[in-house]
Amino acid sequence: MDNRSKVLNCAVTLFAQKGFDAVGVQELVDCAAITKPTLYHYFGNKRGVLDTIFVERFQPYLNLLAQAADYQHDLPLCLQNVLRVSFDFAQRNHTLFQLFLSITNAPDKSESFAATQPYTERQFQIIQELFFKAAQDHGNMKGRHNAYALTFIGMINTYIFFSFHNQIELNEDLIARSIQQFQYGIYS
């Protein structure tokens, strides 16, 4: 594997396990079995490594999500697709998604938070648009697409978070139950 990929792989693991601030550049290059100038050649600085991780490795999730969230007048199906895509990506990119979650909840003024902000915003946008369109089909949802988006994203991230801590399993049963419960909240 080329040095650039080695750095990214090590960075995902180390940042996810110890946190962006707690990982030194030296530790990172040791893990990747390279030297500092190589890292600075590819990424400019430490922050550049984090940015690259999101651009190259997390962006694909948002693309899949946008696809799954394409509303075709079947809300339960659409929500099901969104959950499936999210759970699937989180399971196949365990460490990466763990990194995303930790930084999303990180302090506002931390350096790492700035790196994820565009991606959390995009995630919210996608889900919000889905509920906005759905609200045009379901009258009693009108004016609440914002609240639905927040609750739904919160649910997604919460379940993925607990799955990482082995307290829950991201299976079809959970998907079905989640959507059922969510629908009750909507049609009431």
Which residues contribute to the site for a second copy (CB under 8 A)? 15-19, 21-22, 98-99, 101-102, 104-112, 146-147, 150-151, 154-155, 157-159, 161-162, 167-168, 177, 180-182, 184-185, 188
Nearer to DNA, 38 or 120 (CB): 38
Give me the least distance between CB of 120 and DNA, in Å please: 24
What DSSP designation does 106 have?
S
Partner from DNA, a second copy, none binding residue 114, C-beta < 5-8 Å depending on class: none
Site string for DNA, 42-61 (x = CB under 7 A): x--xxx--------------
Q: What part of residues 2-21 is at the interface with DNA (CB under 7 A)?
A: 2-4
Using the rule CB under 7 A, is 80 a contact of DNA? no
Task: Give exposure, 68-97, as e/b (b: 16+ Cβ within 10 Å).
Answer: bbebeeebeebbbbbbebbbebbeebeebb
Residue 153 to residue 82: CA distance in whole angstroms: 10
| Residue 49 CB-density burial (10 A; 0-12 exposed, 13-18 middle, 19+ buried) | buried
Q: Which is nearer to DNA, 13 or 80 (CB)?
A: 13
Separation of alpha carbons 100 and 66, rounded Å: 18
